Structure 1
């Protein structure tokens, strides 16, 4: 599906901005290498820290947070969520992992060292993806809006509307922060968007069409979801729900 059409279908409204929209860079990708990924994992959140991937998965009765071995895809340690909760995104805040759930309005904190629970918190609306931008925890909820919260208290500080060519973009899902920009999966598409956290404007688009087929993903749920950035080695990882592969990719053909 062409990107402009995909975003038009996902946009909440046809409202236009009065000023010319900012230029949007467009990039493809190349596969650097691939790694095994548990095909039973309904990937909801992904990040890299201190030599390992951390992954959150969804589905009732199957949701968990886990530290993964990159070379094998196996969980080295994991902690399940309550069976009545549908796990969503996770991010690191200091020595904690903060995660959210889909419709429960319940968030979790785990100690990153051993994934032991540290407590829960409440928030309004749905939880989809989370990431840290500076001192703010950023939450997506399936709408075009990103909420910026105090990670200690979960009090909202501000929010922005994600826009492409002046139009709001819904279905903003899993989040990662790379070099000051928020990278986000757009649910049910093969695209990642880079978002300016100050304005909400989409600054770049990464078209990952073809990766789904390479992974051998099947079913309507087997969509692209999961972005992790190894800041020290400058490695970018992506995967999807129920994908048997996780990829290290590099951007290509940017224009």
Structure 2
């Protein structure tokens, strides 16, 4: 008998809530609540403590309230939550609300930015080497002392091996005339290569440059730059996202978003991975970003201003497009090599913080 009465009470309670919502002309209880953040803003920094509350339009009695970000519960202390996530960028703050016999989740979109502003870096030229000025450079990477390079533009796209000291092209393959080649990376004795808008990439034998297979893109928009950390591949696509690719299946397994302490940034082009950081050319700028490969925070900006003035402008020069592009790290020498599209020089540089 007691069980029957209890069941009846629960049914009446649920029925009462339904009548309440229907009477208000609203069938979705989540419409009665909204997350309110301090200052009514949506841009915050990693680790920032922010005042939070629930706008309760019908003053419904809430029995339980819990906030979370990326599935991680955020405790409320003195009416504030600390915004803390493993990655930065566009995020969804969730409030799980319980009232009566119901539980709902409401959301608020926010932008979680870096905790501090990027540090400024500069460079010192250690050596200058000749570079093929017909090469519209898209990707650079060292492997066993050989510089691998990919070039772009339809009808001019190639993948090549280069003697970096002399600029001699040791071996190359030409892409089909409708292909616009993009970045490259080498991992597990495989050479991976992107195309720009065909949504197609290629895998080669790095020793012979023989193509082994093709792969297609997933949700990423285009093909821009590639690098790897020895386990997974990173891919830029012309947006704020840098995607993770499984080197075996080439499936996109997730992404980070590149952000400063003030905004989300979408200009990462050619990539190189060194000691947990992604070095990324800024598209059409004489600068490079240093990105934390875990969080997406842009921790540094390298100003390569003045480097372009050391280039002799040849027949292939395009003032709007012959920009800095191409970065490779020489592990044994501990230095970076940079060049640009249709540049006649390859520079070996040491990167250091600006005084």
Relative to the length of structure 1, the TM-score reads 0.90
Which residue of 323, 327, 339 corresponds with 1:223? 323
The CA deviation at 1:180 is 1.5
Residue matched to 2:98:
none
Give unpaired runs (5+ residues) of structure 1: 1-14
Q: 1:85 aligns with which of 172, 175, 179?
A: 179
| Secondary structure, aligned partner of 2:309 | helix
Q: Which consecutive residues of structure 2, in runs of 5 or more, have no partner in the other structure?
A: 1-41, 49-113
1:1-255 matches, cutoff 5 A: 16-18=43-45, 19=48, 21-124=115-218, 125-217=221-313, 218=317, 219-254=319-354
Cα deviation code 1:140-162 (max 9, x no counterpart): 01111111110111222111110
The structural deviation recorded for 1:133 is 2.2
Q: Do the aligned residues in 2 keep the contact of 1:88 with 1:100 (CA within 8 Å)?
A: yes
1:164 match: secondary structure? coil
Deviation of 1:123 after TM superposition, in Å, equals 0.6
Deviations along 1:4-41, whole A, 9 cap, x unmatched?
A: xxxxxxxxxxx733436234221111111100001110
Counterpart secondary structure, 1:206: strand
8 Å Cα contact 2:119-2:353 kept in structure 1:
no
Deviation (angstroms), 1:252: 3.5
Deviates more, 1:49-58 or 1:157-166: 157-166
> How many residue pairs were aligned?
242
Counterpart of 2:65 in structure 1 is none
Cα deviation, 1:191-215, whole Å, max 9, x if unaligned, reads: 1001001110001111000001112
User: Compared with structure 1, are the counterparts of its residues 166 and 158 closer, same or farther at alpha carbon in structure 2 (3 Å cutoff)?
Assistant: farther
**1:166: Cα distance to partner?**
3.5
Q: Please say if residues 237 and 247 of structure 1, whose CA atoms lie closer than 8 Å, have aligned partners that are also in contact.
A: yes
Q: 1:166 to 1:134 in 2, by over 3 A?
A: farther
Shift of 1:253: 4.4
TM-score (norm 2): 0.66
* CA-atom RMSD in angstroms: 1.6
CA-to-partner distance for each residue in 1:109-133, whole Å, 9 max, x for gaps?
A: 1101111111111113210001112
* Structure label with greater radius of gyration: 2
SS of the equivalent of 2:310 reads helix
